[in-house]
Amino acid sequence: MPSHSEENYLKAIFSITRETQKGAPTNSIAELLNTKASSVTDMVKRLADKKWVNHRKYQGVTLTAEGRNIAINTIRKHRLWEFFLVEHLQFKWDEVHDIAEQLEHIRSVELTNRLDAFLGHPKYDPHGDPIPDESGQFNERESLPLCDLPAGAEGIIIGVNDSSTEFLRYLETQGLMLGTPVKVKTLYPYDRSMEIDADNRTGLMLSLQVCKNLCIKKINQEK
Ligand SMILES: [Zn+2]
């Protein structure tokens, strides 16, 4: 049985390796988990002893099949609970991540499967992230960070790369929610900020940081 902390490490390694398609460097893991590189080194050794990760010098840390299963199962629980909290307990999308960080460590497989069935087997969590099913399958939707869109491009917000309360509250004040249509008006090469139209608001200025963290499904404009 993995401990809570081991599950958090496996989850972090999963997300880094998935994003970069490479082994996770120790310092990236430390940064993501907000801890010291020396603690990461110790933990990685422990995870390798349990055969949940492989660690080769200069190649970073990768998950074994078993480590990957643990990570995906933890993510599944996290996202199902987020969905439950928003849909049934009226939490807002910026309030659920920290609570789900606790709930994701509940062991009972029966509880998780019943929760999944109760919710109607949802495919995406309140932040637009895919929820793995019981066998660990999930569909990643194709999306681009807003900062990669050229001027004139149109799309719809389908996810966020940052589920922090601060970011989600900011988006809410700007009227930028999942499903909101956006159109890039002007790009400012100086700091890569952007002016966009969103829904029925025009001339919204967004920083590069914000644009990096908004996942957009591009609308095909070819007629
Ligand atoms: Zn979350």
pLDDT at residue 200, as a whole number? 81
CA 78 to ligand 1 centroid distance, Å? 6
- Structural domains of the chain, count: 2
Per-residue burial over 150-187, b if 16 or more Cβ lie within 10 Å, else e, is: eeebbbebbbbebbeeebbebbeebebebebebbbeeb
Q: How far apart are the CA of 187 and the centre of ligand 1, in A?
A: 31
CA of 123 to the centre of ligand 1 (A): 14
Show the domain range for 17: 4-63
26, 55, 152, 194 from 22: Cα distances, Å: 12, 12, 33, 31
Distance 141 CA to ligand 1 centre (A): 17
Task: Tell me, in angstroms, the distance from the centre of ligand 1 to residue 97's CA.
Answer: 4
What's the CATH code of the domain at 34?
1.10.10.10
Last residue of a domain, one of 24, 46, 63: 63
CATH of the domain at 202: 2.30.30.90
The answer to whether residue 164 sits within a structural domain is: yes
The pLDDT value recorded for residue 57 is 83
Measured in angstroms, how far is the CA atom of residue 151 from the centroid of ligand 1? 31
The pLDDT value recorded for residue 222 is 54
CA 26 / ligand 1 centre spacing (Å): 22
Low-confidence ranges of the chain (pLDDT < 70): 221-223
